């Protein structure tokens, strides 16, 4: 009903706007007054972390996309090798799991059949299991050794939004925690990142306060048959989630590509006017990304770039630019996904799609 939607037309847009609160609720209880991280009552010790040989992150759909961001962060901060897989493939890929593996499963609902089966297999093989879950008391939350809850609140729209950003926030917190335990991250780096993490909710709020430009961009995308998303590093991970969002709710075919890989095939699909959403938020990849944007532009692609405030030089190469507030490159995915969620919503709305319940899809997939 309208009341349940709190005055919004759809759950999806309501949930997009709930992200500042969802992030605050997920982040603040984990940071103590003295500025250190408390992983609820999850007892991961220095000794334990020094003795594991790898982490596996397994999930489906949007939760998997949060997982691949988690991989980058854990590998960077804690220097522990992380393997990732989608849950429907994991069990059939002869996974290398033993007592020295920490298995992290990610699931909003905690009921996805493939993810639950992956968790059970990992337990059978002796791994320690940690679930990142949103639904309290769900099957995955109950069966895992430890649970780290994302406090996003109920997510009703089939297309996941606030669950994703809170899952990424959870991974940032966990990666920092492991990095500190493993003595791979200095105190000053740790403190600087945490300070930036605390500011994320208000930066999301800032983006949500001015959505005129994204609405305008969306209004020109409704009649497209194909849309491409490109990025490098964390931008590529976010591009995958942006692309999934768009196809789920608007039924427009879309594909996410690592920007440097484009010329190995997909560039053949770029024609005059093909929209390409290019994420360019990573400082160390900025110049490389600009060259990739130019490659697409030279083939007629219409470039909508997402970059940080201040990176105005991108206007020389892109047709439209969406600016997001500056923050550290490792955690900016929580900001760069917001305009992509909004574009998906407004394109779907403009096409009269059933935004909250896209055809053929379910909120929680309980069959394998």
Nearer to ligand G6P, 166 or 311 (CB): 166
Q: Does residue 364 belong to the site contacting ligand G6P (CB under 6 A)? A: yes
- Six-digit token string for 24: 């605050």
Q: Does residue 60 belong to the site contacting ligand G6P (CB under 6 A)? A: yes
CA distance 125 to 133: 22
Site string for ligand G6P, 202-221 (x = CB under 6 A): --------------------
CA distance 367 to 290: 43
* Smallest distance from ligand G6P to CB 107, Å: 3
**Token pair 């200095």 is at which residue?**
186
Torsion sign, CA atoms 279, 284, 285, 287: positive
CA angle 53/241/225 to nearest 5° reads 145
CB 82 within 8 A of CB 70: yes
**Token pair 């949060």 is at which residue?**
66
What is the DSSP pairing of strand 275-280 with strand 226-231? Answer: parallel
By beta carbon distance, the residue nearest ligand G6P is 61
* Smallest distance from ligand G6P to CB 105, Å: 8
Taking CB under 6 A as the criterion, the residue among 298, 361, 366, 368 binding ligand G6P is 361
Taking CB under 6 A as the criterion, the residue among 62, 84, 88, 101 binding ligand G6P is 62
Taking CB under 6 A as the criterion, the residue among 101, 115, 274, 344 binding ligand G6P is 115
Q: Which stretch binds ligand G6P (CB under 6 A): 57-65, 170-178, 216-224, 261-269?
A: 57-65
Nearer to ligand G6P, 135 or 172 (CB): 135
Q: Does residue 108 belong to the site contacting ligand G6P (CB under 6 A)? A: yes
**Rounded to whole angstroms, what are the CA distances from 84 to 68, 70, 72, 367?**
7, 9, 10, 21
Nearer to ligand G6P, 297 or 357 (CB): 357
Residue 22 sits at φ, ψ, to 5 deg, of -60, -40
* Smallest distance from ligand G6P to CB 164, Å: 8
* Smallest distance from ligand G6P to CB 282, Å: 25
Taking CB under 6 A as the criterion, the residue among 158, 170, 207, 314 binding ligand G6P is 158
* Smallest distance from ligand G6P to CB 213, Å: 26
Nearer to ligand G6P, 110 or 301 (CB): 110
Annotated active-site residue 316? The verdict is no
Taking CB under 6 A as the criterion, the residue among 37, 57, 63, 230 binding ligand G6P is 63
Catalytic residue among 21, 215, 320, 363: 363
Q: Does residue 61 belong to the site contacting ligand G6P (CB under 6 A)? A: yes
3-state helix, strand, coil in the chain (%, to 5): 50, 15, 35
* DSSP strands (E only) in the chain: 54-59, 82-86, 101-107, 128-133, 146-149, 226-231, 253-258, 275-280, 302-308, 320-324
- DSSP annotation string for 280-343: E--GGGHHHHHHHHHHHHHTT-EEEEEEETT-GGGGGT-SEEEEE----GGGTHHHHHHHHHHH
Q: Does residue 107 belong to the site contacting ligand G6P (CB under 6 A)? A: yes
CA distance 251 to 231: 22
* Smallest distance from ligand G6P to CB 146, Å: 17
- Six-digit token string for 249: 């709710």
* Smallest distance from ligand G6P to CB 112, Å: 3
Q: Does residue 165 belong to the site contacting ligand G6P (CB under 6 A)? A: no
- Six-digit token string for 243: 């692309």
Binding residues (CB under 6 A) for ligand G6P: these are: 60-63, 107-109, 112, 115, 158, 160, 361, 363-365
Instruction: Provide the annotated active-site residues.
Output: 363
């Amino acid at each position: 009903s309208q009341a349940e939607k709190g005055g919004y037309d759809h759950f999806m847009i309501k949930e997009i706007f709930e992200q500042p609160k969802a992030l605050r609720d997920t982040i603040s209880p984990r940071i103590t007054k003295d500025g250190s991280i408390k992983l609820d009552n999850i007892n991961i010790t220095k000794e334990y972390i020094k003795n594991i040989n790898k982490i596996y992150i397994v999930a489906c759909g949007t939760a998997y996309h949060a997982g691949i961001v988690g991989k980058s962060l854990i590998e960077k901060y804690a220097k522990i090798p992380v393997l990732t897989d989608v849950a429907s493939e994991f069990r059939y890929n002869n996974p290398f799991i033993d007592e020295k593996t920490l298995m992290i499963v990610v699931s909003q609902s905690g009921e996805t059949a493939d993810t639950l089966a992956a968790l059970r297999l990992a337990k059978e093989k002796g791994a320690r299991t940690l679930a990142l879950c949103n639904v309290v008391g769900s099957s995955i939350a109950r069966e895992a050794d430890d649970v780290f809850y994302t406090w996003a609140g109920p997510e009703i729209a089939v297309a996941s939004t606030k669950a994703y950003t809170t899952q990424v926030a959870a991974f940032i917190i966990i990666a920092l925690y492991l990095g500190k335990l493993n003595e791979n991250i200095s105190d000053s780096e740790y403190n600087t990142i945490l300070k930036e993490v605390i500011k994320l909710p208000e930066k999301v709020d800032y983006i949500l306060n001015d959505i005129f430009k994204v609405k305008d961009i969306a209004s020109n995308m409704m009649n497209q048959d194909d849309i491409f998303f490109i990025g490098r590093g964390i931008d590529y991970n976010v591009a995958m989630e942006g692309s999934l969002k768009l196809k789920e709710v608007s039924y427009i075919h879309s594909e996410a590509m690592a920007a440097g890989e484009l010329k190995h095939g997909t560039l053949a699909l770029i024609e005059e006017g093909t929209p390409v959403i290019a994420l360019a938020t990573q400082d160390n990849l900025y110049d490389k990304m600009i060259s990739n944007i130019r490659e697409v532009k030279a083939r007629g692609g219409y470039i909508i770039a997402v970059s940080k405030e201040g990176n105005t030089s991108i206007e020389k190469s892109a047709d439209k630019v969406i600016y997001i507030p500056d923050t550290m490159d490792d955690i900016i995915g929580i900001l760069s996904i917001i305009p992509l969620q909004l574009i998906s919503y407004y394109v779907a709305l403009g096409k009269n799609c059933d935004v909250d319940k896209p055809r053929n899809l379910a909120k929680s997939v309980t069959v394998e």
